[in-house]
Amino acid sequence: MAELNSVKTKVNIGTQAADAKRQTIIQEDKEIVFQSNNFNLWYGDNHALQDINLTFHENDINAIIGPSGCGKSTFVKSLNRMTELVPIVRTEGDIQFRGDDIFTSGMSVEELRTRVGMVFQKPNPFPKSIYDNVAYGPRVHGIKKKSVLDEVVEKSLRSASIWDEVKDRLNDNADGLSGGQQQRICIARALAVEPEVILMDEPTSALDPISTTKIEDLMQELKKDYSIIIVTHNMQQAARVSDRTSFFYQGYVVESDDTNVIFENPSDKRTEDYVSGRFG
Ligand SMILES: Nc1ncnc2c1ncn2[C@@H]1O[C@H](COP(=O)(O)OP(=O)(O)OP(=O)(O)O)[C@@H](O)[C@H]1O
Ligand SMILES: [Mg+2]
């Protein structure tokens, strides 16, 4: 009997070891969502992004940090081709989204922006009802049936952790909500078209600490289904929420690594100085 137990234990240990190994392989095999290769961007003569080589994986929260004017917003906006709206912009190099070049693969800008949603620094709900804000994207995509829209609106508001706060006032104007609530409505609006990636440019910098915590908790939930790329000036936030961190400085990437490496053992002195608050 004792022998049998010992065999069982061995088998269990064997299974655990196999599970752990499998887990590691899954980590290593996380699909690449975005990859930029020697990506450069100019605003006229201003060389704002220089040879950016970065890779972002599925189910990761990726923080982008760096001093003001170093190109964080420009890079994030490049990922869904929003920088094209500025006429003086010129680019070189490429950005791959799930293996397709976002500029040359023939993927339309509309499709790219549906698959890669964006949430901005200042909550920007449309001057419409809460319901219409969230139903906006699905309606643009041709969904008209009320029961389907109702379902999408509820699901998106639930995913953005705001359903309970607004379920009895869906027809109220979104302007009447607090800043933190408006930001979660904007997240729900982004989720309603079922994107694969969510870009967030300083999504909590205009919010109070409680709303900030809510959005950070929400990001942990969302990363189970999405890849998140977040620009933040808040070092504690980057350290708290992200899996990977890229440090931008004067238009280029100084260092990109696991977040704990960037914060605890960076290889570049400038990264160390920046994360410890010595400049920026
Ligand atoms: N629309 C624009 N037209 C011309 N130049 C621009 C434009 N947007 C940004 N720039 C320039 O590009 C550079 C990078 O700006 P960007 O907004 O990407 O910086 P950032 O890192 O996001 O800064 P911050 O932390 O202040 O938001 C800066 O020199 C900026 O002046
Ligand atoms: Mg910015």
Per run of 10 residues, the mean pLDDT along the chain (length 280 residues) is 42 52 58 97 98 97 97 98 95 96 93 94 95 97 96 95 96 95 95 95 91 92 94 96 97 97 96 91
Please report the pLDDT score of residue 21 as a whole number: 52
Determine which residue's CA is closest to atom 10 belonging to ligand 1: 43
From the CA of 67, the nearest ligand is 1
**Residue 13 CB: number of other CB atoms within 10 A?**
10
Residue to substitute in 46, 49, 76, 279 for testing ligand 1 pocket (most ligand atoms within 8 angstroms of CB): 46
Determine which residue's CA is closest to atom 22 belonging to ligand 1: 73
Please report the pLDDT score of residue 173 as a whole number: 97
Q: Measured in Å, how far apart are the chain's first and last C-alpha atoms? A: 66
- 37-48: b (≥16 Cβ within 10 Å) or e: eebbbbeeeeeb
d(CA 53, CA 254): 11
176 touches ligand 1 (CB under 6 Å): no
Please report the pLDDT score of residue 6 as a whole number: 43
d(CA 182, CA 206): 11
Determine which residue's CA is closest to atom 3 belonging to ligand 1: 43
214 touches ligand 1 (CB under 6 Å): no
Determine which residue's CA is closest to atom 16 belonging to ligand 1: 71
Determine which residue's CA is closest to atom 1 belonging to ligand 1: 86
Ligand 1, atom nearest to 44 Cα:
4
d(CA 239, CA 258): 10
d(CA 224, CA 62): 13
Residue 78 CA to ligand 1 center (angstroms) comes to: 12
Please report the pLDDT score of residue 280 as a whole number: 75
137 touches ligand 1 (CB under 6 Å): no
CB < 8 Å & 24+ apart, contacts of 162-165: 162/188
